[in-house]
Every structure is written in C-alpha cells, then in structure tokens.
C-alpha cells in the first residue's frame, strides 16, 4: 500500500519553514568536457571506454554538456523554484593526478557554477566524491590502498580552500557502498574489479578517507560550514519472519549499512560484520586510530533511498541469484553474505525494475533517527526512472514519476510529523543523464534531455515539483 492510498490526495501537507527543496546531479553523469582544461581520465572514463562494460558503449565524454551549459541549467533551477542544488566535483578536473596542487581552470569552473547558483538564489551543496576516482590513483591501487584515503583528504582541503567562502553545505562521499562493492566486488561499476577482499579494504579506506576529509574541511571552512556524508542505507526486510530469513537480513544490514554507520557514527566496526567476513580477511589493514579518525562529528547525515531490499536464506543447493537490483554479475557485491537470496517485492516497478515502496523510506528515516538521536537527516537522493516520451506538442508528461515523488515526500512528511528532524529533500535528478553502466538508456531526470540536440525540456513532474518547492506544501500530483 502506498502513502497516497493511506491518506487522501486532496489533503495538503505543509513542510517546516526552512525545509530545503533541491535536486541533485553527479559530475561524470552530466559535465562532459572530458578532456578540456586539464582534466584527465577518471576510472569512469576508463570503464565506459572498455568494450562491454556500459550499455551500447555509451560514455560520459559529452554527457549533457553541463560544463558549457551550466548557466542554462541554473536558470532552469531558478524557474523551478529550487532552493538548493547538490552537485559533485570531478576530482580529476581539479587535481588530475590525485596529487599535488589544484588546476585553477578546473576550480574556476566550480567557482563560476557556485557564483551562478548564488546569484540565482540557489544554495550550492557540494559533494566531493561521486565515484570518479582519478585513474592514476586507481593505477596505484585505488581505494583498497591506504594512500588513496590520504590523497582524498588533501583534495578535500584544496576544494574547501577555493570554495569554502561561498559553499555552506558539504558532503564527503556519495554512496561509498557502491564505490567499494559495485566497483571492487561485483565489478558492475568502475573500476570493474571482482575481489571481495579488495572491496572490504576499499570500504575501510573510504571510511578513513571520509574522516580525514572531515578534518580537512573543518580546518578550512568557516564556522557555519555544514559537513555530511551521503549513504545509500538499505532498508532490509526478511522475506518471512523465519529465523533463517532474519539472519539473512542481519548479514545484509551488516555489510550494507553498519559497515559505514559503525566507524563513521560509533567509532568501531560491528563485531558481527568482522565475524561474517573472517573467512575472507582478518581486517589487519585497520590500524590503531583508524576508526577514531573515521568517527568525526557531522552536522547532518544524508540518506539516499530508492527501493527496499528483501532477502531470504537461499534454498539448500540452489544457485543464489546475484542480480539484486544493482546490476547482474557472477560476483556478489555482498562479501560475508554468501547464501543470501534477493527478492523483488510485488507491485509497481520503475524502469529500473525497482519496486516502488514509499513506506520503506518512512521506516528508514524513523529507524535511523531512533538509532542516532540528535543527528539531523536530509534525503540527498530520491527519484525514479521511467520510459519518458516527448509528446506531439513537445511536452513530456510523466505522471508516474510525479506520483512516485509525491508518495515519498508524503513519507518524509510523516517522519517529520513523528518527530524525525529531516531538513531537506533532493530530487534525483535534475537532468536525464549518463546512468552509469546503463548509459543513456534510463531517464531519471525532472528535465528531459534530447541526447542529439541536448535541448532541455522540463517534464510535467518538474512543474509539479516546482509548485511544491515554492509553496512548501505537498499538493496532489498530476494524473
């Protein structure tokens, strides 16, 4: 049952004053200009140019050309009444080798973007890392190596020195689970490695890199700078109430959620995670003081949510399906969770095949708030891909996306009404764009992009979301 079925669509819900209404993007998905102004390849440049890795050989070389068209995109944000824009910085555009001084032309692009946003009344929210590690750092070992965490902190300081006087909202990492486990375990994301031990090492160094970056940000930012991390926390549900299925859910919660929450927010890895993975590693790569370094005070916890995760213990002797909604692979992205089967919930699905379940977002927010009282939350990504088409009149009508966003905003409102401190919502995504290994085949954007002409056309869901953002009230979605 969706939220819109439990409460009348005609009931208007008001969000708190100051609630941040935004949208989000990532550098490699939208910028293009892959070889301009000193930028060098990232792991996603290499991965997308490797035959067979990305749908139909699509790459982000041009993407939607935001690098040259950002003034037009900022005007769109202003026209849509958005109060905030979450974007990421391309590490290899700012620091091409991942070492040494910044390239000023790279920083100048982000300076111009931030100035344009501020002039339009849109608050910039900057993500330092959204999966595009400089290839030179990957060649030196990538996230499985401790040095990458140290380089990340240096990079964070460079960006903060350049933009800290104008950017108040900072996010260190976006979805480190994807970086570690899709990149180094299942291989469906860059750099495409399939080594579960390397993935666990990567997870630790992402935790460490986060903590070191927070320290670098605190040293460089004014006192009013706000620092967060963005985690794709899994709302894990056992298929049945059986002990076996509950044990399967515990394992996924350990390697999906608590592998980040433990070090970042509690200062230690959970004992059950270490036990689950003991057959793979003794975790000797964790040095004294590492988890204390990862455990830095945060101003916000940013949460990304799209769909719940439903699991069970696999039947004895059966092949465990590896397509868990994150891309098919013969290699599991869940080290220590062998023997766990994944299931798609019944009911409506998006074009990604992901079940639509807004109640799971409510449950995720309330559960996280109960575990970490006093830590404000923000929904830093939420949205859906659908098969959008441009109509004969040139418009794009996408009622399914509007209904999806409506129901998830209703879930956020319910959480707030129940006492959860949720400060904002960022719709994924502003623009149709390069959707990682799916190339340009999946459209998440509120704004349609013609990939031949790069013309932008706001969809009907964008116009509806603009009304919500301007009024702070959740109106019924268009049908």
Q: How far, in whole angstroms, is CA 102 from its chain's centroid? A: 25
- State the Cα–Cα distance between residues 68 and 187, nearest whole angstrom: 32
381 included as an active-site residue: yes
Quick: pLDDT tens for 308-362.
Answer: 999 999 987 666 655 689 998 999 999 999 899 999 888 899 999 999 999 999 9
- Report which secondary-structure segment, H or E, holds 294: helix 290-294
Q: How far, in whole angstroms, is CA 277 from its chain's centroid? A: 25
**Is 63:28 a contact under the CB 8 Å cutoff?**
yes
**Is 426:23 a contact under the CB 8 Å cutoff?**
yes
Tokens coding 74: 């900022």
Q: Which residue has the tokens 């706000």?
A: 226
Contacts of 384 (CB under 8 A, 6+ apart): 306, 350, 351, 352, 354, 356, 400, 401, 404, 405, 444
Q: Which candidate in 31, 116, 138, 175 is catalytic? A: 175
**Which residues on adjacent β-strands are paired with residue 87?**
126
What global pTM score does this model have?
Answer: 0.97
**Is 330:320 a contact under the CB 8 Å cutoff?**
no
- State the Cα–Cα distance between residues 260 and 478, nearest whole angstrom: 38
175 included as an active-site residue: yes
Q: Which candidate in 31, 138, 145, 381 is catalytic? A: 381
**268-288 as b/e: b if 16+ CB within 10 A:** ebbeebbebbeeebeeebbee
Quick: pLDDT tens for 420-453.
Answer: 999 999 999 999 999 999 999 999 999 999 999 9
Quick: pLDDT tens for 200-243.
Answer: 999 999 999 999 999 999 999 999 999 999 999 999 999 999 99
Residuewise pLDDT in 10s, the chain (479 residues): 344 444 554 567 999 999 999 999 999 999 999 999 999 999 999 999 999 999 999 999 999 999 999 999 999 999 999 999 999 999 999 999 999 999 999 999 999 999 999 999 999 999 999 999 999 999 999 999 999 999 999 999 999 999 999 999 999 999 999 999 999 999 999 999 999 999 999 999 999 999 999 999 999 999 999 999 999 999 999 999 999 999 999 999 999 999 999 999 999 999 999 999 999 999 999 999 999 999 999 999 999 999 999 999 998 766 665 568 999 899 999 999 989 999 988 889 999 999 999 999 999 999 999 999 999 999 999 999 999 999 999 999 999 999 999 999 999 999 999 999 999 999 999 999 999 999 999 999 999 999 999 999 999 999 999 999 999 999 999 98
Other CB atoms within a 10 A radius of the CB of residue 393 amount to: 6
379: nearest Cα among 339, 348, 420: 420
Cα angle vertex 202, ends 197, 204, to 5°? 100
């Amino acid at each position: 049952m969706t939220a819109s079925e439990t409460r009348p669509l005609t009931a208007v819900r008001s969000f708190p004053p100051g609630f941040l209404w935004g949208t989000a993007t990532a550098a490699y998905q939208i910028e293009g200009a892959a070889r301009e102004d000193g930028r060098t390849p990232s792991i996603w440049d290499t991965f997308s140019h490797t035959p067979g890795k990305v749908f139909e050989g699509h790459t982000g070389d041009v993407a939607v050309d935001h690098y040259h068209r950002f003034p037009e995109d900022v005007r769109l944000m202003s026209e849509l009444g958005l109060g905030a824009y979450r974007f990421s910085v391309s590490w290899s555009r700012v620091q091409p080798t991942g070492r040494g001084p910044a390239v000023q032309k790279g920083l100048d692009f982000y300076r111009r973007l931030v100035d344009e946003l501020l002039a339009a009344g849109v608050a910039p929210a900057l993500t330092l890392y959204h999966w595009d590690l400089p290839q030179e750092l990957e060649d030196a070992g990538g996230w499985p190596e401790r040095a990458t965490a140290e380089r990340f902190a240096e990079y964070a300081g460079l960006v903060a020195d350049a933009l800290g006087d104008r950017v108040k909202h900072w996010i260190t990492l976006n979805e480190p689970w994807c970086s570690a486990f899709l990149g180094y375990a299942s291989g469906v994301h860059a750099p495409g490695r399939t080594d579960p031990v390397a993935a666990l090492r990567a997870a630790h160094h992402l935790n460490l890199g986060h903590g070191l970056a927070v320290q670098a940000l605190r040293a460089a930012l004014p006192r009013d700078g706000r620092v967060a991390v963005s985690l794709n926390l899994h709302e894990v549900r056992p298929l049945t109430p059986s002990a076996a299925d509950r044990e399967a859910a515990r394992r996924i919660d350990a390697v999906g959620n608590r592998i980040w929450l433990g070090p970042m927010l509690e200062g230690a890895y959970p004992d059950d995670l270490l036990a689950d993975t003991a057959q793979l590693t003794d975790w000797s790569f964790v040095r004294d003081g590492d988890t204390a370094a990862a455990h830095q005070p945060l101003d916000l916890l940013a949460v990304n949510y799209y769909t719940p995760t439903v699991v069970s213990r696999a039947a004895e002797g059966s092949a465990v399906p590896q397509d868990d909604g994150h891309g098919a692979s013969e290699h599991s992205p869940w080290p220590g969770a062998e023997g766990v089967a994944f299931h798609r919930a019944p009911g409506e699905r998006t074009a990604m095949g992901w079940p639509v379940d807004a109640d799971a977002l409510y449950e995720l927010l309330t559960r996280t708030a109960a575990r970490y009282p006093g830590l404000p939350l923000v929904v830093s990504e939420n949205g859906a891909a659908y098969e959008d088409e441009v109509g004969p009149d040139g418009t794009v009508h996408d009622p399914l996306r509007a209904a999806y966003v409506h129901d998830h905003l209703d879930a956020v409102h319910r959480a707030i009404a129940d006492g959860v401190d949720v400060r904002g919502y960022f719709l994924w995504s502003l623009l149709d764009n390069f959707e990682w290994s799916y190339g340009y085949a999946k459209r998440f954007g509120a704004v349609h992009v013609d990939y031949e002409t790069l013309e932008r056309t706001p969809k009907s869901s964008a116009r509806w979301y603009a009304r919500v953002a301007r009024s702070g009230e959740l109106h019924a979605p268009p049908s």
